């Protein structure tokens, strides 16, 4: 492999620094007003009694569908978070020079589906032990991540990670590599990515879980 090609390949697995990341732009990505499946607004303001979480599980097309099919989820959107570049494009995120992850914003009614149940869906529907990849999708934008909006969410996410790590270890899996960070800024992805698998039902999904069930003991401390 040539030196230039090696550099491009290694960049897919290394996070850029804030100084080396692409600068981005001031203009936000325009998105449709309503969710293609749920018919609810794609952007805030959301209902005052709703809660939200942002998660990265690999390719965001398949991850988004998991959540919009869940009872109690009000709306979902795909986008980018966890990096440095302001209002990035898909191509920029794929370059590995933004630091962003492909993520899903999940807005839900906690009276119908709990945060712990959302975490269960997250853990059980991808492999959180794979580092900067998910299945055949390689790069920092496919890393496993939970991006929380409160200290309570962070605490419960970390407890669930500990419990799922124990279950995975018993099944012979390696250590979880999921990052748990404050949400920061969520940047919407391009309109054609939103609810992609509704528009293209047989399109690429790329997700696969470990087959290990996530324990539910953390429900007691919600």
- Say if strands 73-81 and 51-57 run parallel, antiparallel, or are unpaired: unpaired
| Global confidence as pTM | 0.93
Single out the catalytic residue among 59, 94, 205, 214.
Answer: 59
Report the pLDDT value the prediction gives residue 6, as an integer from 0 to 100: 43
pLDDT given for residue 218 in this prediction: 52
Nearest CA among 142, 118, 138, 115 for reference residue 128 = 142
How far is it, in rounded angstroms, from Cα 197 to Cα 34? 16
Asked if 73 and 55 count as a contact pair (C-beta separation under 8 A), the reply is no
Q: Tens-of-pLDDT digits for all 222 residues of the chain? A: 454 544 555 667 899 999 999 999 999 999 999 999 999 999 999 999 999 999 999 999 999 999 999 999 999 999 999 999 999 999 999 999 999 999 999 999 999 999 999 999 999 999 999 999 999 999 999 999 999 999 999 999 999 999 999 999 999 999 999 999 998 999 999 999 999 999 999 999 888 899 999 987 554 444
pLDDT of residue 1: 45
The class level of CATH for 34-221 reads alpha beta
Which candidate, 152, 185, 52, 193, places its Cα nearest to that of 109?
52
Q: How many other C-beta atoms can be found within 10 angstroms of the C-beta atom of residue 118?
A: 25
* Pick from 45, 139, 146, 135: nearest CA to 105: 146
Is 94 annotated as catalytic? no
């Amino acid at each position: 492999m040539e030196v230039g090609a090696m550099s491009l390949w290694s960049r897919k697995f290394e996070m850029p620094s804030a100084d080396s990341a692409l600068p981005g732009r001031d203009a936000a990505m325009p998105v449709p007003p309503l969710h293609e499946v749920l018919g609810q607004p794609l952007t805030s303001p959301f209902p005052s009694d709703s809660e939200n979480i942002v998660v990265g599980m690999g390719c965001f097309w398949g991850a988004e569908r998991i959540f919009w099919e869940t009872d109690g989820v009000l709306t979902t959107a795909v986008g980018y978070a966890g990096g440095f570049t302001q209002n990035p494009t898909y191509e920029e995120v794929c370059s590995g020079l933004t630091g962003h992850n492909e993520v899903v914003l999940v807005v839900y009614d906690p009276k119908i589906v709990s945060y712990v149940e959302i975490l269960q869906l997250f853990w059980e529907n991808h492999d959180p032990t794979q580092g900067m990849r998910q299945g055949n999708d390689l790069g920092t934008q496919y890393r496993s991540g939970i991006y929380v909006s409160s200290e309570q969410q962070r605490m419960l996410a970390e407890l669930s990670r500990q419990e799922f790590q124990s279950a995975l270890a018993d099944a012979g899996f390696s250590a979880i590599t999921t990052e748990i960070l404050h949400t920061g800024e969520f940047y919407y992805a391009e309109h054609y990515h939103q609810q992609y698998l509704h528009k293209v039902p047989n399109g690429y999904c790329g997700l696969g879980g470990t087959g290990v069930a996530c324990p539910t003991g953390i429900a007691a401390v919600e």
